[in-house]
Chains A and B, each alone.
Chain A
C-alpha cells in the first residue's frame, strides 16, 4: 500500500532541507527570479513526481500520503514548482491511461522531462463547472473550451484536460496544440489561461476508469493543494512565533502579551484541524475510498480557513515591517488568497459539501 511512518519522516526531512536550500520563500514583488527549470529538474531526479505511482508502474510507491508530504514541504516555502500537477498527472495516467499513454508519456512525467499541467478549472470560483466540450471526430476527439488559472499552463508539455462529452471526461493534450495566455497574478506564480480551439486528440488520449474521473482528478488536486496550504500555514506560523519571541516593546517580548498568545494558539488550533483533514484525505486517496470528494472538500476548506487566518495575522503581528515588500509576509498572504480561491473557494466548497451530504 503506502509508505511507513519512518520512511515518510525521512522523505519529509530530506525534502525540507532541499526546498529550504534550493527554493526558499523570499521577500519582494513579482515572480521569484531565482526559480526556474533547474529546481524542477533536480526535484524530478530525486523521484518526487513518481511519489504517488506504484512501484509496479515505475513509480516510487509512496502513495498520495508520500506525495502530500512532499507538497507540504514545497508549500512551506511557497515555492512555485509543478509537483502537484506532475505528481497527480503521473498517478492518473499510470492508473487510467491507455497503453500508449503509459508507454509514451508516463516515463517523461515520472522523470520530470515532461511537465504537466492540470487544465481542469474554468474559473477561480467554479472549480467543478465544466463548459469545455469533447466531440467525437475521425476516431478521436475534438476539445473546445477555455481553462483558466492553470498552474504552469504556459510551460506545460502535457495537459490533463477536463471536458464534457456524454459525461465528464479526462484527456491528455499536447502543450503545443493549445494557445496560452500568461497571467500576471498577485502572488507571482506562473498561471495561464489555456484556450482549446478545436484541439484534436486521439482516442488513446482518453483516460478510462470507473466513476467520474473529472470529479476524482478535482478531488486529488484539491487534496494536493490543501497539503501545500497546510505546509504554508505551518511555516508562516513558525515565522510569526519567532517574531513574537524576539521583537520587544514596552520592555518585554511581544510574545508575552496574552492577547497575542491566544491569537497564536488559535492559529495552531486551525492548523492542526486542517492537518488532520489533509491526512485523512490523503489516506482516502490511497485507499481509493468512495468518500474521496467529501474529504477533499473538507481538506481544502479547512486548509483555507487556517491559512486565511494565519496569513492575515502574519502581516498584523509583524507591524509595519509586515506591510513592506522587504518582508516575506506579503508573499504568504498573496499566495494564501490565490490558493484559497483556486479549485473553489470556501463558500463554493461548503455548498458542494451540502449537496453531497443531501441537504
Chain B
C-alpha cells in the first residue's frame, strides 16, 4: 500500500463519525450555505474535518483552500472514502460546476474571493442558465445585462433554477450584446441573490417536491468585477461548465439515495429460494440492470480521472446519458417490483420506504432533462466526438 493511501485510510478511520458511514437520507444532504442546516450534527463534524484537509475540493490548489492533490492521489482518496462508506462531506454546485471554471477563467482576485467559501461550504450557488424560451437552445437566452458605467443592470427571467430559493448566489448567463450573433453576445455573471430586484418563486415537480424555481431580475445592479471571463465571451465558459456539470452530477448519481438494493426489492416481491430471487427471468433482468449500473459507475470514474488530470472531454456526455438511463431504469424496476404499494402518494397505508421509492422514480424522470437532455447529449456525441456532419 502506498504511504499516501495508508495515511488517508488512517485519517478516515480517526475522523469519520459512525453515522456518516450509513446511507444518506435526502434530508441530511449537506448543501452548506449561509442558512446551512445540519439535522445530523455529525454531518457538520465530518464537513469541518474534511474542510481542514481541503478535501471537499481535493484537486484545487491549497492557496484557495483545496487539497492540492494530483489526479492519482484524488483517486486514492475517493477509493478510500468509498471503502469506508463515507458520505460526501458537501454537495455543492459551487464545487461541481462553478469552481472548476473559476479556476480556469477567473481573475486572481475572483479566485481568492469566491473559491475558499465554496471549499468551506459557506456560500451556496445555483445555476441561472435556462429561460422560458431558451432550454436546449440555450444560446437564444434573453436576460439582459446593460453596461451602466459603474455596474451592470440586469433584467429578465430564468427558469428551472434548482434551489434558487435556498441558494446565496447565482451564476448566470446574460446577454450583453443583443446585436451580435447569438453565441457571441453572452457573458457569464455572478450575482448575489440578496441584491434588490431579485425574486424567486418555487415550482412544484411531479414528485411533489419543489427543488426548482423561477428567478426574476428586475433592474438588478451587479458590480462590474462580477463578470467572469471577457465581455461577450461567456459562451465558451458556459459550455465548459456544462461538461463539469454532466461529469459531476453523474458522479454523485444525481444525488439519488441508493440505500435500498433493487435485488432486495425483487426478493420481497417474488420470494426467495435458497436465498435467491425465486423467479429466474426476473433475476436475470435484475442482474442485467446491476451489470449496466456497474459499467456506468466504472465509466464515471474513468471520466473523473480525465477531469482531475485537467481534460474534461469526450466521456462527459456518455456518462451523463448512461447514468440518467441507469438511474431511470432503477426507478422503473423499483416501482414495478413494489406493485401497487409503489404507487401510493402519502399516508399511513403505505410504508415510508415505498413512498420514498415512488418519489425517487418520479424525480429520476428529470435525469434525462437536467444538465442538457439525453437527446442533446447524443447530439454532442455524434457531432463533437464522432464528427458526423450537419
Contacts and interface: CB of A to CB of B under 8 A. Distances in A.
B148 to A, nearest CB: 43
Contact of B298 (A266, A277, A359): A277
A354 B381 contact: no
Interface of B: 263, 266-267, 275-277, 280, 283-284, 286-288, 290-292, 294-296, 298-299, 301-302, 315, 318, 321-322, 375, 377-379, 381-383, 385-390
5 contacts: A255-B388, A255-B389, A272-B299, A274-B295, A359-B276
Interface stretch (A77-85, A129-137, A329-337, A345-353): A345-353
B322 A262 contact: no
Contacts of B276: 354-355, 359
A302 interface: yes
A31 interface: no
A33 interface: no
A347 B275 CA distance: 20
Given A241-B387, A266-B378, A276-B302, A354 B321 contact: no
A354 B315 contact: no
B318 A354 contact: no
Residues of B contacting A: mostly = helix
B98 to A, nearest CB: 27
A302 B267 contact: no
A245 B388 CA distance: 6
A295 B389 CA distance: 37
A168 B205 CA distance: 56
Given A241-B387, A262-B375, A359 B299 contact: no
A357 B287 CA distance: 9
Contacts, number: 114
A269 interface: yes
Contacts of A253: 389
B286 A245 contact: no
Interface of A: 241, 244-245, 252-253, 255-256, 258, 260-262, 264-266, 268-269, 272-274, 276-277, 279-280, 297-298, 301-302, 305, 346-347, 349-351, 353-355, 357-359
B266 A359 contact: yes
Main SS of the interface on chain A?
A: helix
Contacts of B386: 241, 261, 264-265, 268
Given A245-B389, A268-B381, A277-B298, A354 B287 contact: yes
A359 B322 CA distance: 24
The 5 A-B residue pairs with the shortest CB-CB distance, nearest first, are A261-B382, A265-B381, A350-B287, A276-B298, A359-B263
Contact of B290 (A261, A274, A353): A353
Contacts of B296: 273
A267 to B, nearest CB: 9
B217 to A, nearest CB: 35
A358 B287 CA distance: 11
B308 to A, nearest CB: 14
Contact of B390 (A256, A260, A276, A347): A256
A256 B290 contact: no
Given A261-B379, A274-B295, A350-B287, A241 B322 contact: no
Nearest to B321: A269
Contact of B291 (A260, A265, A350): A350
B182 to A, nearest CB: 21
Contacts of A262: 375, 378-379, 382
A323 B359 CA distance: 48
Given A264-B382, A265-B378, A354-B283, A244 B388 contact: yes
Given A272-B315, A354-B277, A359-B267, A265 B302 contact: no
Contacts of B287: 350-351, 353-354, 357, 359
Contacts of B375: 262
A111 B321 CA distance: 45
Contacts of B379: 258, 261-262, 265
Contacts of A354: 263, 276-277, 283-284, 286-287
Nearest to A306: B295
A54 to B, nearest CB: 20
A350 B321 CA distance: 23
Nearest to B284: A350
A171 to B, nearest CB: 32
Which one of B288, B315, B321 has the greatest number of beta carbons of chain A within 10 Å?
Answer: B288
A241 B389 CA distance: 10
Given A245-B388, A273-B296, A357 B290 contact: yes
Nearest to B383: A261
B288 A350 contact: yes
